[in-house]
Structure 1
């Protein structure tokens, strides 16, 4: 007689152990998993407890938020209204100079023109960044054709009855965003062309692309901007010249394209040889093979490197001050010379504001890059 028994129904799932649930479990797994982790966590907490209160006090609690001049940002001994020993940020300086930080020395009565360009940029960029919004091709066409055309007409003027505004009067966030937009829009396609040229089977094209990439990557951006601003006019025929801001745009774009080419080349080398052979077996031409098979996979692999180059380009726009252009950082530093706001805390407050603005844009690009990577990973797994 058999005494065996086979379970015919599933048992209910057991609850997780008490130690694996709740906040305490997460803290234990992430912060106190080992003695070394616990020691580092305690040191980090102590450092934050030491650093955050005075930083919060300087940035917010004791800060001067509004006022007509430097008196609100200086102590009584310094000719101001603050009590002796006061230490706080001078956000009143940022508030008073905010329009100048955005538009530079662009004429006040004409600032509606860069404002319209900025609104168009936001309205075209946001739908482009949201994957579910349709008509991406039309959106990209407007972003990279209509927007530059409108900017070329509105910003410098001299067309359709608009007053001409010299680029020497541009400044602030306007210059930073224009340089970044043009540099990003041009460096990616130029980098792709240079990367393909460096891997070309034609020796002349490969040599030219390699020479350009290695030459540009071997010199600092300051040198490129200095050459474009000072040396280039010396080699032009008499009476022929280019706008200084246009020269900066070209120099920044070419400089970034050399670094972008190496990022793209790394992606191309990561594609298995079978992908090339598979495209050849289908009878695809060179550009069809690259455009439909190889490049989409390569660009997907190097998204972090591409965004890293974009972030570096955005921050490097501050170097245009070497040729007399005042970007966001340059126009803030120019404000330090205003005797109306001369105080011990004014420079640090302005630099903190500049650092926050640069961090805000760079952090946004980084987070969007991470979002795109996760989305592409999920689509690949499916």
Structure 2
């Protein structure tokens, strides 16, 4: 019989803000003091216990650029499937510090009187430019509370905007906590102690998606049967691997808070020019992580017509630790190559094992 050749085939690539005051008049009075003619009046703000004020979308950090009021990313960030928030600074004081830009909150000419003894101002500002991103920005699933002592703000499907500042007068050293619940999973920040609880760990480490280098190889196959010689001279396969780490998909959590769902996808040209090369994905692709070999929990595929043949897109899913970021792949396609029209299968003569890596770090 004449040689059958399959040539290399390109594969598809797998502004200052006006503060909103929430103070009750009985608790916080604003009196316009007497002023000389032609001078601007000065507002004096009396801040008793329970006084609070919110400044929305303040474009700058009201805290100094350096100092203990500022939180690191690890101390101030909460990420979930539908939100990503970073608290940039938290500060408590009894008199307004000169190096804080609180004119954005109280106005340029306000005189803010100190609270009574035993009480203090505490402010919380969310980052004007958050660095983190949520996998899905639809906040319909999110509720939460920011509490400074006994003063609380509740959030329901609408979270604090970038730069928002929350300030309250409470007893000195009152707890400061942020708690957010997304699709029934709750995470919290203790902003006094600067600790996080309930974190969905995979969202805080590594990249969500990476790709391996391309692997490519050319094989031959042949068979002598019934007085005929059959052969394939140059079947070229070429593919790469796409890895994703996921915790939430299709409206539900798909991994525990300390785990991640690793998906490894690749495309295989399973037929062309009348020939077929089927592979067993579980035997062909072996994945290992920091703790050794992994067994797929799900193996799935979709087919697509391609020229006179067919492409098969494989997706293999693994349950992995949230902190596992580096994976080694060994890919070993085995024959035979079938010629259905002739009713034969030809052994592959020069099979090869390829090694690839997925590094989410």
Report if TM-score (shorter chain) is over 0.5: no
More strand by share: 2
TM-score (norm 1): 0.18
Higher RCO (C-alpha under 8 Å, 6+ residues apart): 1
TM-score (norm 2): 0.19
More helix by share: 1
